[in-house]
Structure 1
């Protein structure tokens, strides 16, 4: 579906879709990193969310189907997402991460990681994008996504 053709209330009954800010897609694409869906929407994110944000189809993390409980106080995505990153730096934008997740990733992931919590009622803000851009710059990622030495 063409994102310009999308109209409010085409959310297939999901009120969260009407909260999306179409301008966020442009701002996400301007970040100097690879975008990946790490959502419970899984492949449906490319069908339901991407068009509303003007994003292309993105890679999707396929969550395991196991019923294994996470470590105490950890978000259920934390350990698997860190394994998926396989030692690479990553930014995780979510509305459910906590300090426990940050501490766990810092202790168990060998590369830098930014776990950035977003207010679910406000969505991504200018301040959120500033934090992420600053982190990418400190990591040494240039505007074209290339790494540079500091």
Structure 2
């Protein structure tokens, strides 16, 4: 079982006018990014909550984000997460396949709960992805103005505890 995590939207509510309560600004100087400085608003409670969820369900936490390995260098430590495996997605940015092909290959044969804010993009690719999947596949949309809430975590737990 896999619990897939996107950074921008679910963990970093980029669309919020002001950060939601509990979020803290983090800033990093990164040489491997378009911009030398990158920032995110993160809720430090998400790290322990995600680790607890993974432990309760037996799910593996995995980055499914265009941050790729940078998530392990920046976001993960800020949330108290250990290094996580990374699904390589940057090559698919802006393509009609978006993240679905890479996620499908990575998650083949395993149930997933996926927290992301972009499931409405490329609806035909999403629908084709869901038709191909035989395993439990819970796409849990997160509002990029609020980030992950307890309701999102509860939905992920339900999907991972009782896979179809």
* Structure showing the higher strand proportion among its residues: 2
CA contact (8 A) 2:113 2:139 kept: yes
Taking only aligned residues, the RMSD between alpha carbons, in angstroms, comes to: 2.4
SS of 1:29's partner is helix
SS of 1:57's partner is coil
Which among 27, 30, 42 is matched to residue 11 of structure 1?
Answer: 27
TM-score, structure 1 length as denominator?
Answer: 0.74
Distance 2:89 2:77 in 1: 22
* Structure showing the higher helix proportion among its residues: 1
Distance 1:135 1:81 in 2: 17
Q: In the superposition, relative to structure 1, how do residues 130 and 68 fare at CA in structure 2: closer, same or farther (>3 Å)?
A: closer
Number of the residue aligned with 2:111: 89
Which among 55, 60, 64 is matched to residue 38 of structure 1?
Answer: 64
Q: Please report how far the alpha carbon of residue 50 of structure 1 lies from its aligned counterpart in structure 2 after TM superposition.
A: 0.4
Number of the residue aligned with 2:146: 122
CA contact (8 A) 1:87 1:111 kept: yes
| 4+ residue runs over 4 A deviation | none
CA contact (8 A) 1:26 1:54 kept: yes
TM-score, structure 2 length as denominator?
Answer: 0.68
Number of the residue aligned with 1:52: 78
Q: Please report how far the alpha carbon of residue 121 of structure 1 lies from its aligned counterpart in structure 2 after TM superposition.
A: 1.4
Compare relative contact order (CA 8 Å, sep 6+) and give the higher one, 1 or 2. Answer: 2
Which among 38, 62, 66 is matched to residue 88 of structure 2?
Answer: 62
* Alignment length (residue pairs): 127
Structure 1 unaligned regions, length at least 5: 1-7, 141-150
Structure 2 unaligned regions, length at least 5: 1-23, 29-36
SS of 2:61's partner is coil
Q: Which has the larger radius of gyration?
A: 1
Q: In the superposition, relative to structure 1, how do residues 92 and 53 fare at CA in structure 2: closer, same or farther (>3 Å)?
A: same
CA contact (8 A) 1:105 1:113 kept: no
CA contact (8 A) 1:102 1:115 kept: no
Q: Please report how far the alpha carbon of residue 56 of structure 1 lies from its aligned counterpart in structure 2 after TM superposition.
A: 0.5
